Amino acid sequence: MNMTALAKAIIAGKRINRKDDLNMFLTCDLKELCEGADLIRKHFIGDKADLCSIINGRSGRCPEDCKYCAQSVHNHTDCEVYDFLPEEKILEACRLNESEGIDRFSIVTAGRALSGEEFEKAIHTYKTMHAECKIDLCASMGFLNAEQLHRLHTAGVTSYHHNIETSKRNFPNICTTHTYEQKLETLKLVKEEGMCACSGGIIGMGETPEDRLDMAVSLAELKVDSIPLNALMPIPGTPLENCPQLTEDEILRTIAFFRYINPEANIRLAAGRALLTNDGERAFQSGASATITGNMLTTAACATIRSDKHMLKKLGRDVTPKYLKTKE
């Protein structure tokens, strides 16, 4: 099929579903696919590049057995271990990211679900950030219930991140301590609460190209708002430590067909940008509209943010967050 024609059809209202011949995305010309994806991105998202940053709010000792993860107790890595960070340290990181003009800041915590005293600390921290900062707030804290999500929302959190990781078929190969269905149920609660749902996954974990297509369609069915795409960077001491790295063309093809299947979502570059030319310049011309940037409280974080913004500005993208724009 002519991918430019398909892109124009999607702009006109067509949507891809499981009944379509999805294999066309795996066999079509890559250049034409990426150009079509960029047309769709420009129509639905425009030139605004959405930038988010995260802080690892609690690290290590995770009881889940995700085979890619450094923080799982089932794996043998040199992962740093600490409890929920002091509020002032998180607030400092939030202020730093706001000063650099990042759109959104998120606390990410290791573990099945943040609970008890640590969840209460998180709520207080979010209330403080919401009161003292203008940056949008996100959270990634595992399998929270409806009440917890509501409390986060009330505290100022507008987005919740919860990756489905891979396809339904491949999920048991990646994790056995929770199910794909549990992931979907949490995301449904996020949507019911009225928060932005951020969910994507990792490619390069031994899945097939068809698994990647299935993940894209599943996310479209959930109507998620933001899709972070990670390319696996194998971590020594994890079961996936010997997985071969993906080629740039494989990653670009995936980003592009995710855009066709999820035309109105932010397709967000996440881990694995080092595998891409100029940290993802071609990806932003192939359907990507957002990225995770920076890294905790380091000088290098600011340098990374600034280099990302420089690259995006060269591509004609708008990197100014809403809270810094003059009200008309």
For domain 26-313, give the fold: TIM Barrel (3.20.20)
Q: What is the pLDDT of residues 150-163, one digit of tens each?
A: 999 999 999 999 99
| Domain assignments of the chain as residue spans, ordered by start | 26-313
87 strand-pairing partners: none
Q: What is the pLDDT of residues 291-311, one digit of tens each?
A: 999 864 343 455 589 999 999
Report which of 284, 327, 280 is spatially closest to residue 48, judged by C-alpha positions: 284
Report which of 54, 48, 23 is spatially closest to residue 217, judged by C-alpha positions: 23
Average pLDDT, integer, range 135-142: 97
User: Do residues 257 and 228 make contact, with C-beta atoms less than 8 angstroms apart?
Assistant: no
**245 has a pLDDT exceeding 60:** yes
Which of 1-5, 111-115, 157-161 reaches the highest mean pLDDT? 157-161
Q: In this structure, how many other beta carbons lie within 10 angstroms of the beta carbon of residue 192?
A: 11
Of 23-37, 55-69, 91-105, the one with minimum mean pLDDT is 55-69
Residues 72 and 95: their CA atoms lie apart, in Å, by: 30
Average pLDDT, integer, range 64-74: 84
Name the pLDDT band for 119 (thresholds 50, 70, 90).
very high
The radius of gyration computed from the CA coordinates of the chain, to the nearest angstrom, equals 19
Average pLDDT, integer, range 29-45: 98
> Considering the entire predicted model, what is its pTM?
0.94
User: Do residues 71 and 79 make contact, with C-beta atoms less than 8 angstroms apart?
Assistant: yes
CA 226 to chain centroid: 7
Of 122-131, 169-178, 234-243, the one with minimum mean pLDDT is 234-243
Name the pLDDT band for 111 (thresholds 50, 70, 90).
confident
